[in-house]
Amino acid sequence: MHSQLELGELHVDVVRKDIKHVHLSVYPPDGQVRISAPLDMALETIRIYAITKLDWIKRQQSKLRSQERETVREYLERESHYVWGKRYLLHVATTDAAPTVKLKHSKLELHLRPGSGTDKRRELLEAWYREQLKATVPTLLARWEQTLGVKARRVIVQRMKTKWGSCNPTSGLIRLNTDLARKPPVCLEYIVVHELVHLLEPTHNARFQSLMDTAMPHWRHVKRELNQLPVQHDDWDY
């Protein structure tokens, strides 16, 4: 069930779900505000909650609107792409074999069949990024599950437009954004720790922050680094 709140010039989308707690999100690129609320929560209660968060909402909107954006990728020869935070120049080669992606010195090589256009190049590279992440996550996951004393029941790597990652504490399901394979490795580690800590504390309250401080004392620095990096043109943020 969807509805809207008008707080002066601020428009807030309200989505009612079968959940226990209120969740507030501010989405790129322009700072659209959405509140997910329990099914039985009165609209006036949600309004009051939104008013108490106005300063935070405005700060998030300002941050999103000023964040650097990548140029649109056309998957052309010598176009810049990033793998684990390092810059590579794209090289497109034709082949009669199955399509592949290779890192060679400072080049990111796409080997495709003749006539493969932009969509095919994008699909091949996205699939390759997903495989890089899937190959890297298990070691990080095992290390931090042991450290934190938790166990994720399932981890899914997928394209996500609005978050770097997510966790469902009830089901133990963690989702990680494929785009993390473009960022420095420490950013992936931070997101893995962040989502695993949500298995201990579902919200971002003081307890969550204390758990993060204990597990990864420099997590705020990494979070700032991640959020300062250019984001893809289709606009999303954690």
DSSP state of 96: S
Residue 76 lies in a domain: no
Q: Does residue 233 surpass a pLDDT of 80? A: no
Check whether residue 47 and residue 122 sit in a common domain: no
Place of tokens 């997101």: 191
Residue 17 lies in a domain: yes
Pairing of strands 107-112, 86-94: parallel
pLDDT, one tens digit per residue, over 30-80 is 788 999 999 999 999 999 999 999 999 998 888 777 666 666 789 999 999
| Residues 175, 159: Cα–Cα separation, whole Å | 9
| CA-based max dimension of the chain | 63
Residue 104 lies in a domain: no
Q: How many separate domains does the chain show?
A: 2
- Is the model's pTM score more than 0.85? no
Pairing of strands 165-168, 173-177: antiparallel
Ramachandran class of 105: left when φ > 0, alpha when ψ lies in -120 to 50, beta otherwise: left
Residue 109 lies in a domain: no
DSSP state of 115: T
Please give the distance of CA 1 from its chain centroid, rounded to a whole number.
Answer: 26
Residue 99: both structure tokens together: 């399509």
Whether the Cβ atoms of residue 226 and residue 183 lie closer than 8 Å to each other: yes
N residues, the chain: 238
CA separation, residue 25 to residues 5, 21, 183, 223 (Å): 14, 13, 23, 17
Q: Please give the pLDDT value at position 232.
A: 60
Check whether residue 34 and residue 128 sit in a common domain: no
Is the preceding peptide bond at 29 cis, omega within 30 degrees of 0? yes
Average pLDDT over residues 146-156: 97
**What stretch of H or E contains 15?**
strand 10-17
pLDDT, one tens digit per residue, over 78-106 is 999 999 999 999 999 999 999 999 999 99
Distance in Å from the first CA to the final CA of the chain: 25
CATH of the domain at 189: 3.30.2010.10
Q: Please give the pLDDT value at position 116.
A: 93
Average pLDDT over residues 212-231: 89
Q: Please give the pLDDT value at position 183.
A: 95
Structural domain boundaries enclosing 196: 118-228
